[in-house]
Amino acid sequence: MADFLQSNLGTPTHIITCRADDKEIQTRYKEKNEIAEDLGEEEANALKEKTAAAAQDAGTLRTCWANILSRVSQIEFDTACSLEKLTSEIRAQFSVKVILVNHEKRIDVDTACSNLAIKYNMLYMSVYQLIRSEITAETELGRALLQSYREKAMNFGSTALLLDPFQEEKYSAVHYDMTLVMQLLQQKITEARTNQRFILLEGFCNSGKLDSHEDSLQLRFMDEFFAIENNLGEVIGVIGLQNEKMPTTFSPERIEEIVVE
C-alpha cells in the first residue's frame, strides 16, 4: 500500500487523524438518526466495532509509513468540540499567515516586496493588481467584480510624485464587493501557493484613504481586517512604509470627530 501511494502520489507531508470519545460518538449518532432514548445493545455494539476498526486502520497506516514517519508531520484533531472551534484549529494549522503592506502611494514597493517574497519563500499579492488583471481578462469573476463597482473618492495625498501604473485609484478593493474580492484572493492563493506559510498582502485596508466621511463609516478599517482573518488567514504583522513616523501611542490632545449630515 505504502509503495503504491509513494509511486503514484508521492510521500505525504502530513498525516491527519481525528478522534472523539465514545460518549461524543454516541451523542452524534443519536442526533443524526433522531434517536431520543439510549442506544440499543445492537447499535452500541456496531459503534464499538467501527471504533475498533478505525483504531486498526490507524495502526495499519502507521505500519505502512513506518520508514518515513520521522519526516511527516502527524496532526491529530479532537473533534469533541464545537464546529467553530474545530474550524479555528484547522485554520491555525493550514491557513496562511498574512503580513499587510501599507505605504504612501508615492513610495514604489512592488519590486521590493517581490524580491522579499522570493528571498523568504513568501507569496506577494497586490490586491488592486489582481482585481485589474481579472477585470481586464473578462473572466466570470472579473465581470462580477465590475458589476459590483461603486466608485468612492480617494485621497492619496500630494500628487506631485504620484505614479499609478496599476491604476490603484480605480481598482482599489474599496470600490468592489468585499465578498467577491475575498473570493478572488482565495482563488489566487490556491492557484499559486505551494509550501509558503506567509503572504505579503498589499493594497488592502485603504479605508483611511477614502475622501468622504460617509464612505469611511461604511467601510471601516476593522471590517477589512476581520474579512482578511476570516477568509484568508491570521494577520501577524503590518509593514508601514511612510515618509513620516506613524503615531503608536494615544495622545489626549488628539481629537477625532464623526460628522453626521
As a whole number of Å, the CA-based R_g of the chain is: 25
The whole model's pTM is what?
A: 0.62
At CA 80, angle to CA 79 and CA 82, rounded to 5? Answer: 85
Domains of the chain: 2-93 (no CATH), 96-241 (3.40.50)
Q: Please give the pLDDT value at position 160.
A: 42
Residues 6+ apart with CB under 8 A from 35: 29
pLDDT, mean of each 10-residue run, the chain (261 residues): 67 80 82 80 83 83 77 82 82 82 70 83 88 91 90 65 68 86 90 86 74 65 79 82 62 53 52
Which sign does the torsion angle of CA 131, 135, 136, 138 carry? positive
Q: Please give the pLDDT value at position 161.
A: 44
Distance CA 133, CA 127 (A): 10
Residue 209: Cβ-neighbour burial (10 angstroms; 0-12, 13-18, 19+): buried
